[in-house]
Amino acid sequence: MKLRVSQTQTTKQKFSSTLRGWLPILQANLDTLVETLEPFVEENPFISVKAGSEIPEKPFEKKNIFRESAKTSVSDTIEALTLDKKSLFQTLYEQVNPPLFPTEKSQRIAYEIIENINAEGYFEADALVEIAHTLNVKETEVEKIRQRFAYLEPLGVGAQDVKEAFLFQLQDLTLENTLYEMAEKLILNFDVIESFGKEPLFHEALNIIKRFHNPPAIDFLEEEKEVVPDIFIYTIEGAIEVRLNDTYYPEVIIDTEGVDESNSFVSQKLKDAKDLIDALEMRKATLYKIGLMIIEYQYDFFFGKAIKPMKLKDLADDLGRNPSTISRAIAGKYLSCARGVIPLKQFFATAVEEDISNSAIKEYMIELVKHENKQKPLSDIKLLSLIEKQFNVKMVRRTITKYRQQFNIASSSERKKLYTLVG
């Protein structure tokens, strides 16, 4: 049954007359809402704004996100874990796919390895035995999978120490044998590196090593922009519940002590203050209804499926709003659920055709690669042909190449080499 929200004509008129003057409030991100209200406060001597409390503790622990995502397809995971800035763990998680991790077993081991990589990008060595015990596999199997992290981004991630991280990064370079061997020798003998100062190619090799990242995840140690979700989606025993982030909303306080409310100036300012409060409440109401409609259109997504095609106009029609108003309402807004913190705009997948989303095509492309002939991997031209036939659409090869690169899938020639390597 559709979750359509019926409204009276009076409510619509109130929305139009009030919110038209407060569109910046609707458009503002939750974390900048207090700043957006400042001009209104400066013009009104009878109101003040109290900032909301800090964002509540995230109800979805990182480990639970990974566990849940492990049960879904690769494309679901990548669609779901979209943040303002991807974390190290999300970046790694997106790369756990064929050809480096071609089987469900290898992927399970990779997920566990990720869980035991610290913020600097190093693997906690004592976790190897625990992983083997947890998954009931041999320690050598875990180590074999860990070695494949040498081919992931950021380079060096998954190494046990600085030397190994540098060796991982060295493997990614194409160097002449003599220069490669000198760089490798310097890394292995890092504690006495000065003793090689007079050897040929010492300075060239040292300059290469100086460019390596230490720690491997140094780029991820920078302070990330805080993403404050407007909407929380909870899935409890098969039921879905929508909640707003009420605790973060600023509070508008009206102070009329000692003033004559019958005065025309005071009366007008009090009306403006109440309109401001109405605008904040209508912002909440609009986003709550958007949350309900996202559940209606994307219900299966919250239980592990892919995002479906969803048009902004469809949502606007169902809510009785102008598409431009809904566009403002979702701009820069986030939804938090068991599958990650997701921009609302992510649910409005661009459709290649009326009922075909980019995510569906990406899903099919990944399945093709997953089950391809390891001796003869599918070229982008062949992938294009199969996709066009499956969905009855016309596309260009560079689009397939772009999709493949988005998922860190190597070219057919590179995949063939990797299949040989991990076979």
Q: Is residue 136 part of a domain?
A: yes
347, 368, 402: which is the final residue of a domain?
A: 347
Give whichever of 28-37, 206-215, 296-305, 331-340 has the largest mean pLDDT: 206-215
Q: Is residue 71 part of a domain?
A: no
Domain that holds residue 148: 85-220
Q: Check whether residue 215 and residue 248 sit in a common domain.
A: no
- More confident: 416 or 97: 97
Is the confidence at residue 19, as pLDDT, over 50?
A: no
Cross-strand partners of 334: 343
Taking alpha carbons only, the member of 216, 240, 222, 219 closest to residue 167 is 216
> Would you say the C-alpha torsion 115, 119, 121, 122 has a positive or negative sign?
negative
68 — pLDDT class (breaks 50, 70, 90) = very low
391 — pLDDT class (breaks 50, 70, 90) = confident
Q: Is residue 139 part of a domain?
A: yes
Span 266-276, average pLDDT: 89
347, 370, 398: which is the final residue of a domain?
A: 347
Taking alpha carbons only, the member of 279, 301, 199 closest to residue 36 is 279
Q: Is residue 192 part of a domain?
A: yes
Q: Is residue 79 part of a domain?
A: no
Tokens of residue 335, six digits: 């939804």
- More confident: 156 or 64: 156
Least confident of 64-73, 124-133, 186-195, 316-325: 64-73
Strands 47-50 and 251-254: antiparallel
Q: Check whether residue 89 and residue 215 sit in a common domain.
A: yes
pLDDT at site 78: 33
Q: Check whether residue 182 and residue 281 sit in a common domain.
A: no
Span 19-44, average pLDDT: 78
Q: Is residue 378 part of a domain?
A: yes
Is the confidence at residue 90, as pLDDT, over 70?
A: yes
What's the rounded Cα separation, in Å, for the pair 161 and 99?
A: 26
Is the confidence at residue 167, as pLDDT, over 60?
A: yes
Q: How far apart are the first and last CA of the chain?
A: 49
Tokens of residue 376, six digits: 């003869």
pLDDT at site 55: 52
Span 19-28, average pLDDT: 69
pLDDT at site 309: 67
Q: Check whether residue 90 and residue 211 sit in a common domain.
A: yes
> Would you say the C-alpha torsion 250, 7, 323, 85 has a positive or negative sign?
positive
Is the confidence at residue 54, as pLDDT, over 60?
A: no
Span 338-364, average pLDDT: 69
Q: Check whether residue 216 and residue 269 sit in a common domain.
A: no
- Split into its structural domains, the chain has a count of 3
E strand or H helix at 351: strand 351-353
Q: Is residue 78 part of a domain?
A: no
Average pLDDT, the chain: 79
Q: Is residue 64 part of a domain?
A: no
Q: Check whether residue 91 and residue 129 sit in a common domain.
A: yes
Q: Check whether residue 182 and residue 116 sit in a common domain.
A: yes
What's the rounded Cα separation, in Å, for the pair 338 and 351?
A: 25
pLDDT at site 343: 83
Span 215-228, average pLDDT: 70
Is the confidence at residue 196, as pLDDT, over 70?
A: yes
Task: Name the CA dihedral angle for 380, 384, 387, 393, rounded to a multiple of 10 degrees.
Answer: 160
Q: Check whether residue 366 and residue 295 sit in a common domain.
A: no
